[in-house]
Amino acid sequence: MGSVGLPQFNVFGEYYNTIDGKLSSTQETRHGINPATGKPNAEVPVSTEQDVDAAVNAAKKAFKTWSKVPYAERQKALRDFADAIEKNVDDFAKLLTQEQGKPLMFAKAEASSAVTWIRTLSGFEVPEEIIEEDDTKKIIVRHTPLGVAVGIVPWNFPIQLACGKICPSVVTGNPIIIKPSPFTPYCDLKLGELAQQFFPPGVVQVLSGDDRLGPWLTAHPGPDKISFTGSTFTGKKVMESASKTLKRVTLELGGKDPTIVCPDVDIPTVAQKVATLAFLNSGQICLAIKRIYVHEDIYEPFLKAMVEFTKTLKVADGMEEGTFLGPVQNSMQYEKVKGFFSDIEKSGQTVAVGGVNEDKPGYFITPTLIDRPKEDSKLVTEEPFGPIVPVMTWKDEQEVIDRANATRMGLGASVWASNLDTANRIAMSLEAGSVWVNTHLELDPRAPFGGHKESGVGFEWSAAGLKAYCNSQTLYLKKKA
């Protein structure tokens, strides 16, 4: 571990860990791959256990003072941090496209929404509540910071998801160590570097590494809280590891979102929207539409409209103008998505559109709709996390609600209908953390975000989400002896 002073901030400069207010390099380095070209990106640190110890110690030291800094000052530091990200949005977006693969316009939208998230979440407070007060006593509930938090981030929204953890942690007085995915470390390392201008040493730190780093952090006795976003499979491992030291955990996990299309919808409009919300970010969104249930009366024209629209979506390098689908983010994910195609071929399912891998360097997959696969098929029951979606029919309202809910996942769900009474009634029967009518995926940082069932534990964002970084403390105070 060697450290250097803070250079002039440049998103495309060199990439360092941030430990105790300094930029820090490691003996061993590695690199991510630009998924559109297959070419290597810049070298990044591979943190060691000593780096983890150093970051945890710095965070523990920082906690002593940062937790005492007045709330308004912590809010101001976050607002200044958001302003600085905003000034660099265009560069962050380019770097994001280069490391993650998403089209530049969506990369810019992600970086900008991170700014909105920080501004909104830093505006919330966790006020004391007075339970009872009379001449002799006062009972107060207050929310005190937990200590040191670790934020573990996946590769699909590295900027937005890191900021969605940094802000609530830091504003409530907890230093945080961010661990990006090894596939997408670049923007997060630069967020860490930028943060050093606004926070004291040890308050916001970012460590990049290989597959050993996450387990080291969750097992380390120092941190008090793990906020994890990623797959359900890994989330279970994180919870198991955190249980050894009873760290608090918030888990934001996988999804298998159903959408129900009623017979009275305007077919051309809704078909386009549903396909868009299934294929955004090449389907690599926890909350993307992953199962489409269309009423049998409109099934054929609705599927046709989705197919025609899907054919118009440009699949290319995210740097190219007009690209709607960039590549799948990494080779592991590419192979996983191709596994779904093999299963479809083997079981003779009907491909309505797509179904081929693009003949290009990089991990490109054509957006694909599968016409009425069996309800127990791999595609209907598992999360491909790629641009391949099953379309099924339904007839009876209760039956489609039961099918939509027949999953261990419960992240998002939606219903589309012109008759809003019908739509709202169906929406209220769906088992998911976020449920939409006539849209999907439209998130608001003022609202809690989390999953039901195996899609998560706890929730993030919103004023209430700040409490996930706090202990609840009840004070039974005396006013008279």
Question: Which CB, 189 or 271, lies closer to ligand NAD?
Answer: 189
> At CA 97, angle to CA 96 and CA 103, rounded to 5?
130
Question: Which CB, 227 or 393, lies closer to ligand NAD?
Answer: 227
Radius of gyration of the chain, Cα coordinates, nearest whole angstrom = 23
Taking contact as CB under 6 A, which single stretch among the options 51-59, 74-82, 167-175, 247-255 is the one that binds ligand NAD? 247-255
Using the rule CB under 6 A, which residue among 88, 112, 113, 231 binds ligand NAD?
231
List the one residue out of 393, 179, 405, 441 whose CA is nearest residue 284. Answer: 441
Using the rule CB under 6 A, which residue among 60, 142, 237, 338 binds ligand NAD?
237
Neighbours of 200 (CB within 10 A): 16
Taking contact as CB under 6 A, which single stretch among the options 4-12, 73-81, 228-236, 266-274 is the one that binds ligand NAD? 228-236
56-95 residues in contact with ligand NAD (CB under 6 A) are none
Residue 462 interacts with ligand NAD (CB under 6 A)? no
Residue 207: half-sphere exposure toward Cβ, Cα within 13 Å: 33
CA distance 168 to 149: 10
Contact 369, 354 (CB under 8 A): yes
Question: Which CB, 111 or 417, lies closer to ligand NAD?
Answer: 111
Residue 150 interacts with ligand NAD (CB under 6 A)? no
Strands 248-252 and 456-457: antiparallel
Question: How many chain residues are in contact with ligand NAD, going by CB under 6 A?
Answer: 27
Residue 253 interacts with ligand NAD (CB under 6 A)? yes
Q: At its nearest, how many Å lie between ligand NAD and the CB of residue 431?
A: 15
428's tokens: 């209220």
Residue 410 interacts with ligand NAD (CB under 6 A)? no
Residues annotated as part of the active site: 252
Taking contact as CB under 6 A, which single stretch among the options 45-53, 212-220, 319-327, 345-353 is the one that binds ligand NAD? 212-220
Residue 282 interacts with ligand NAD (CB under 6 A)? no
Q: At its nearest, how many Å lie between ligand NAD and the CB of residue 1?
A: 20
Using the rule CB under 6 A, which residue among 21, 35, 214, 390 binds ligand NAD?
214
Residue 30 interacts with ligand NAD (CB under 6 A)? no
Residue 413: half-sphere exposure toward Cβ, Cα within 13 Å: 26
Taking contact as CB under 6 A, which single stretch among the options 3-11, 149-157, 312-320, 353-361 is the one that binds ligand NAD? 149-157
Residue 160 interacts with ligand NAD (CB under 6 A)? no
Question: Which CB, 100 or 393, lies closer to ligand NAD?
Answer: 100
Q: At its nearest, how many Å lie between ligand NAD and the CB of residue 443?
A: 10
Q: At its nearest, how many Å lie between ligand NAD and the CB of residue 294?
A: 23
CA 175 to chain centre: 20
Question: Which CB, 81 or 385, lies closer to ligand NAD?
Answer: 385
Residue type (1 letter), 328: V
Show the binding pattern over residues 440-459: x = contacts ligand NAD (CB under 6 A), - = does not: -----------x----x---
Contact 188, 158 (CB under 8 A): yes
Using the rule CB under 6 A, which residue among 234, 366, 407, 434 binds ligand NAD?
234
Using the rule CB under 6 A, which residue among 15, 385, 416, 436 binds ligand NAD?
385
Q: At its nearest, how many Å lie between ligand NAD and the CB of residue 212?
A: 9
Residue 255 interacts with ligand NAD (CB under 6 A)? yes
127's tokens: 């006020």
Residue 303 interacts with ligand NAD (CB under 6 A)? no
Q: At its nearest, how many Å lie between ligand NAD and the CB of residue 247?
A: 12
Specify the residue for token string 């007045």: 70
Residue 469 interacts with ligand NAD (CB under 6 A)? no
Residue 229 interacts with ligand NAD (CB under 6 A)? yes
Neighbours of 475 (CB within 10 A): 11
Residue 182 interacts with ligand NAD (CB under 6 A)? yes
Question: Which CB, 231 or 377, lies closer to ligand NAD?
Answer: 231
Residue 35 interacts with ligand NAD (CB under 6 A)? no
Residue 152 interacts with ligand NAD (CB under 6 A)? yes
Question: Which CB, 292 or 303, lies closer to ligand NAD?
Answer: 292
Using the rule CB under 6 A, which residue among 218, 281, 349, 434 binds ligand NAD?
218
Site residues (CB under 6 A) for ligand NAD? 152-156, 179, 181-182, 214-215, 218, 229-231, 234, 237-238, 252-255, 286, 383, 385, 411, 451, 456
